[in-house]
Amino acid sequence: MISTIHPSDNEGMSRVRALLEKEGIRMDVNIDYTCAVFDESHQIIATGSCYANTLRCLAVDDEHQRQGLMHKVLTHLMSVQEERGNSSVFLYTKGSTAPFFCSLGFYEIARVSDTIVFLENQQHGFSDYLKNLQEETGDRHGMSAAIILNANPFTYGHLYLVEQAAAENELLHLFVVSEDVSFFPYDVRERLVREGTAHLKNIVYHATGPYMISQATFPSYFQKDEDSSIRSHAQLDIAVFSRIAQVLSITRRYVGEERASHVTSLYNDTMMHNLPLSGIECRIIRRKETEGAPISASTVRHAIQTGNMDILPALVPPTTLSYLQSEESAPIRRNLMEAANVIHY
């Protein structure tokens, strides 16, 4: 029998965790639904989880392999995704198990050798996304670069990076992370990016869609440690981005220098080494500073949290400042003031 394991079921979750560990998998920190298959003795012999429209933490006890249990778990999780209204579903797995999931209707988007394979259930999902990027670009050509921004929210630091890239290239593809795991929702972040860069006429704006994910939701459950997870995420990002760059003729990617965050620093180092292997130059731009400190979105969020709104004019463009001072932003400001931690990368 297959059952839902609720987060409040400490014993059930502990048994799920034990099965995962037995099969060499860590419980992922980002999970919003878990199920398990029980045998006649009420022992968990298979499990799987969801986070948003992704499947993760899939495992079958090695003593019960080849009994169709993974197919049962996958069918159940896909019905959960259907109930959520998700027609596009994504899955991360090891290279050794990718053929199995491909046989069940998943298609490979990108891989990092045999470490991690990124799959989706739509055969033409990624190719349709690439076509959409081409349509958004139209007939604009020239030396092309790219920046991927979360902009949580858009700051003078982001603006400085964008202006540098726009000045050094004929065309700049500016991707805004559309994954909603930030304090500021996508529609707000995207609007503030557009408003803050409206004076630059050689920008094409894109949403990242579901193909470029954040470190916050990257599945780390089959990575041996945090650094391995960061490197794998960067390598998968590069594998996906390289296909996008090929379609849009992008030859440069710009990122901001990071001295305070180990995560971002390791990510940038991986890109510096790997992007040139795909014919893409990686340009790391020194961060814009104010009063000797780098301007960052974390600093802005902390200022809002602590009620130090007077420093915002030095940190954000007028368009962002106007939004932060508006009644529209009041719910977000309240969330920031009540949050336990707003300093993250």
Class of domain 127-285: alpha beta
Compute the distance between CA of residue 293 and CA of residue 288 in angstroms, rounded to an integer: 8
Per-residue pLDDT tens listing for the chain (345 residues): 899 999 999 999 999 999 999 988 888 888 999 999 999 888 999 999 999 899 999 999 999 988 999 999 999 999 999 999 999 999 988 888 899 999 999 999 999 887 789 999 999 999 999 999 999 999 988 899 999 999 999 999 999 999 999 999 999 999 999 988 789 999 999 999 999 999 999 999 999 998 887 655 566 545 556 777 778 878 888 999 999 999 999 999 999 987 666 777 888 888 999 999 999 999 999 989 988 888 989 999 999 999 999 999 999 999 999 999 999 999 999 999 999 888 764
Q: What is the pLDDT of residue 345?
A: 45
Sequence-ordered list of residues with C-beta below 8 angstroms from that of 266, at least 6 positions apart, any chain: 227, 230, 231, 234
Q: Domain extents for the chain? A: 1-87, 88-123, 127-285
Compute the distance between CA of residue 226 and CA of residue 229 in angstroms, rounded to an integer: 5
Q: What is the pLDDT of residue 234?
A: 85
Sequence-ordered list of residues with C-beta below 8 angstroms from that of 108, at least 6 positions apart, any chain: 98, 102, 117, 118, 119
Q: What is the pLDDT of residue 25?
A: 83
* CB contact at 8 A, 280 and 242: yes
Q: What is the pLDDT of residue 260?
A: 63
For residue 304, give both structure tokens: 């809002």
Q: What is the pLDDT of residue 194?
A: 98
Cα distances (angstroms) measured from residue 135 to each of 72, 128, 131: 40, 11, 6
What amino acid occupies position 34? T
* CB contact at 8 A, 335 and 152: no
Q: Is there a shared CATH topology between the 1-87 domain and the 127-285 domain?
A: no
Q: Which residue from 276, 283, 197, 240 is spatially nearest to 90, judged by alpha carbons?
A: 240
Cα 105 from chain centroid (whole Å) = 23
Q: What is the pLDDT of residue 23?
A: 86
Compute the distance between CA of residue 217 and CA of residue 54 in angstroms, rounded to an integer: 10
CATH 3.40.630.30, domain 1-87, yes or no: yes
Q: What is the pLDDT of residue 230?
A: 76
Compute the distance between CA of residue 173 and CA of residue 210 in angstroms, rounded to an integer: 17
* CB contact at 8 A, 162 and 173: no
Q: Are strands 44-51 and 54-60 parallel, antiparallel or unpaired?
A: antiparallel
Provide the whole-model pTM: 0.89
Q: Which residue from 157, 166, 193, 168 is spatially nearest to 288, judged by alpha carbons?
A: 157
Q: What is the pLDDT of residue 229?
A: 72
Max distance between CA atoms of the chain, in angstroms, equals 67
